Chains A and B, each alone.
Chain A
Amino acid sequence: MHNEATQKGVFQAEVLSNQQIRRCYYRLNMKFDARGSRLFQNVLPGQFLEMDLSAISLPDETQIPENLKDKASRQVMLRRPFSFSDVIITPTADGPCVKVEILYCVLGPATVRMMSLKKGDTINILGPLGNGFSIPDHLTHALLIAGGMGSPPILHLASHLKHHNPNVEVVSFIGARNIEDLPFTVRIGNFKGLVLEEFELIRVPSHIATDDGSAGFDGFVTDCMRHWLEDNKIDPKASAVFACGPEPMLAGTAKLAKDYDMPCQVSMERMMACGIGLCQSCAVETKKDDNHTEYQLCCKNGPVFDAEKVNFHAE
């Protein structure tokens, strides 16, 4: 958020694996070339990349989800933005080697094409883009909250905090419409209830909320976090909320954080063409002062914004 954008560039990545997690959710692992690895060695959670998927062919027709069979054949020209659920940086004698994990949901002509990616394929990438989450000094509690496909960068942030800020207590709240829409592995926790394995592995407590009650808390993830805040007394001055998800959920989170007087950073999403501030399509309405608003660019000024600055448009 406050960290100035690092250098970015165009480079190639090699696909290491592309696995289906459940229904329309997939996990793509890639290894970046030397240039990409150099560019990504200081990447932060909340930053993103753009992939050129124009030359990726459609999967076999039998694999295309029924609801996408019609629109899957539409051409893909513009790059597609993705955040990361994990970044592994390994130093080698020739410089850093960066491996990145992306979680994606198949919901249009570009992501349908991604289903056909396999080990050894190459993808052209532009990145790293935007400004990531910034970790305030003197932080003791980090509350991470995500809705649906907003959860990948939240998982990345969780492991980043565990690694770089071991004294910070990290708690996560992950919401989705139903259990099928959680892009993670759900299992029975050690004590009671369901947990997400990906968060358990990095020792971050995960509170699940589903709109239909099919897993975890029955209701919105923001209400799940509100209950937790009622039960757990934390110092708001040493706490911060980090959120990513649909805009109504971000608006709810911003309000909740304000009720508890905690700072809150939200990662916004917009349709974008370029990702580098050229096209001006990804405008986010922000508060300039008490009486004025201004548009900022999601790709360049964001995607992470101070929640207090954003004028949310919840549809």
Chain B
Amino acid sequence: MDKTTNLQIDFAGLTLSGPVMTASGTCGYADELSEFMDMSNLGALITKSISIEPRPGNPTPRIVETNGGMLNAIGLANMGLERFLEEKIPVLEQLDTKILVNLAGKSIDEYVAVADRLAREEAIDGFELNISCPNVKKGGITFGTDPVLIGEITAAVKAVCQNKPLMVKLTPTVTDISVTAQAAVDAGADALSLINTFTAMVIDVEKRKPVLANRTGGLSGPAVKPIAVYLVNKVYNEVAKDAGIPILGMGGIQTVTDALEFIIAGATTVAVGTSTFVYPDTAEKITLGLAEYCKNKGISDLRELIGSLR
């Protein structure tokens, strides 16, 4: 990486090598991407959601492509805490990047149990609270749309994170995202990540049935990007800026320019999700592209751009 530009960034107390992460659910558990990129170019990896018990996930079809995006209804399929500790922690220890674990659960107690256990692992640098998954019947988005519940769950999980940062991932499927953002911040969130996917549906016209077995799924990809940029800017202006809480911005990021839009809108860091499915090294390419952009523009520190929207 070009070292003339300082891409190193402080994010909720963590020093990241760069501002680009890979979003939860799009980069596996640990080293799935390491044969496609130099992991040290990644600011952080956010793992697949981990719940206390293993979850099989939803029946198939779990995905369907749409114009400029896709719907997924994986259903938080994951190996569960015990196998994650046994099989993935040793792999994560070897990776030259920060590791944030995405926490999932059906009750506040379940979220707390996973965070409490993983906070004791040196390989884990922080957490992302998933209260915005649209594809499960219990937990997920039911927490993320209610400011009171957001406060309760954020405070309860924060209490067991020890000195590790807790980031709360927000759903865009609310009337006013600043209300949910504020609830998370008031309860002690160290950072906010937004956006999770939009609940959506694709219909098979011949069968007159939804394409996905789960009927609905979460829309992601370039199609959602302008909405995500708007929501990041709104949360930055109305909540995060004054509270001094950093934002991880995501939603359809495919290019360096996309990442810059989010940063200018107010994001301190950005995450690549759906695009990784097509080009597994997208996050690294964007990191290198940001360094090149700053060099060409004479920007010595990327932080100058955060929230610089005129």
- CA of A279 to CA of B73, assembled, Å: 10
Can you name 21 A-B residue pairings with CB atoms under 8 Å?
A7-B35, A52-B279, A74-B67, A77-B68, A77-B69, A77-B222, A77-B274, A78-B65, A273-B72, A274-B278, A276-B32, A277-B32, A278-B32, A278-B33, A278-B280, A279-B26, A279-B72, A282-B60, A283-B57, A294-B56, A295-B77
Interface centre among A54, A76, A77, A276 (most CB of B within 10 A): A77
Closest to B72 in A: A281
Given A278-B277, A279-B26, CB of A77 within 8 Å of CB of B221? yes
Q: Which residue on B lies nearest to A54, using beta carbons?
A: B278
A171 to chain B, nearest CB (A): 32
CB distance from B225 to the nearest CB of A (A): 13
Q: Is A258 an interface residue (CB 8 A)?
A: no
A79 near B278 with CB under 8 A, answer yes
| CB neighbours of B56 from chain A (8 A) | 293-295
Total A-B Cβ pairs within 8 A: 91
Interface assignment of A68: CB less than 8 Å from any CB of chain B: no
Among residues 11 to 48 in chain B, which have CB atoms less than 8 Å away from a CB atom of chain A? 25-28, 32-33, 35-36, 48
The count of chain B contact residues (Cβ–Cβ below 8 Å) is 34
Give residues in A with beta carbon < 8 Å to B.
Answer: 7-10, 52, 54, 74-79, 126, 270-274, 276-283, 285, 293-295
Q: A272-B63, A281-B63 are in contact. List 13 more A-B contacts (CB 8 A).
A: A8-B35, A52-B279, A271-B64, A273-B274, A274-B276, A274-B278, A278-B28, A278-B32, A280-B25, A280-B48, A280-B57, A280-B74, A281-B74
Q: Mark B212-240, 1 if CB is under 8 A from A, else 0.
A: 00000000011000000000000000000
Q: Which of B28, B57, B62 counts the most chain A CB atoms within 10 A?
A: B62
Q: Which residues of B contact A293 (CB under 8 A)?
A: 56
Say whether, besides A75-B68, A78-B70, A283-B57, A273 and B63 are in contact (CB < 8 Å). yes
For B36, the chain A residues whose CB sits under 8 A away are 9-10
- Residues of B near A273 (CB, < 8 A) are 63, 70, 72, 274, 277
Residues of A contacting B278 in the complex (Cβ-Cβ under 8 angstroms): 52, 54, 77-79, 274
The interface residues of chain B lying within 8 Å CB-to-CB of A294 are 56
Q: Is B125 interfacial (CB-CB < 8 Å)?
A: no
Most chain B CB within 10 A, of A76, A78, A126, is at: A78
What are the residues of chain A within 8 A of B74 when measuring CB–CB?
Answer: 279-281
Report the Cα distance A126→B36, complex, angstroms.
11
For B279, the chain A residues whose CB sits under 8 A away are: 10, 52
The chain B residue sitting closest to A294, CB to CB, is: B56
Separation of A247 and B135 alpha carbons in the complex (Å): 26
**A249 CA to B67 CA in the complex, in Å?**
32
Complex contacts, B261 vs chain A, CB 8 Å: none
Residues of A within 8 A of B90 (CB): none
B residues within 8 A CB of A295? 56-57, 77
Asked whether A278 and B35 contact (CB < 8 A) given A78-B70, A270-B60, A283-B60, the answer is no
Instruction: Give the residues in chain B near A8, CB-CB below 8 Å.
Output: 35
Bound Cα distance from A279 to B29, whole angstroms: 11
Q: Give complex CA distance A202, B223 in Å.
A: 48
On whether A77 and B70 interact (CB within 8 A), knowing A9-B35, A278-B32, A280-B48, the answer reads yes
Residues of B within 8 A of A78 (CB): 65, 70, 277-278
* Chain B residues near A278 (CB-CB < 8 A): 26-28, 32-33, 276-277, 280
Q: Which residues of A contact B70 (CB under 8 A)?
A: 77-78, 273
Please report the C-alpha to C-alpha distance between residue A77 and residue B67 in the assembled complex, in whole angstroms: 8
Q: A75 — which chain B residues lie within 8 A by C-beta?
A: 67-68
Q: Does B281 touch A at the CB level, under 8 Å? A: yes
- Contact check, A10 vs B277: say whether CB atoms are below 8 A apart: no
Q: Does B244 contact A (CB under 8 A)?
A: no
**Interfacial chain B residues near A271, Cβ < 8 Å:** 60-64
Nearest CB of chain B from residue A304's CB, rounded to whole Å: 18
Closest 9 interchain pairs by CB? A274-B277, A281-B63, A281-B62, A273-B277, A75-B67, A280-B74, A271-B61, A280-B77, A278-B28
The chain B residue with its CB closest to the CB of A297 is B77
The residue of chain A having its C-beta at the shortest distance from the C-beta of B221 within the complex is A77
Which residue of the partner chain B has the closest CB to A282? Answer: B60
Q: A79-B278, A273-B63, A274-B277 are in contact. Are A283 and B68 (CB under 8 A)?
A: no
Kindly name the residue among A10, A75, A279 whose own CB sees the greatest number of chain B CB atoms within 10 A.
A279
CB distance from A289 to the nearest CB of B (A): 14
Residue in chain B with minimal CB distance to A270: B60
Chain A residues, CB < 8 A from B77: 280, 283, 295
Q: Which residues of A contact B68 (CB under 8 A)?
A: 75, 77
In the complex, A295→B57 CA distance in Å?
A: 8
A283 to B55, CA, bound (A): 13
Chain A neighbourhood of B222, CB < 8 A = 77
**Least CB separation from A292: chain B residue:** B56
By beta carbon, the residue of chain A nearest B73 is A281
Q: Which of B274, B278, B280 has the most CB of A within 10 A?
A: B278
C-alpha gap A279/B64 in the complex (Å)? 12
B211 to chain A, nearest CB (A): 9
Q: What residues on A are CB-neighbors of B72 within 8 Å?
A: 273, 279, 281
Let me know if B280 and A277 touch, CB within 8 A. no
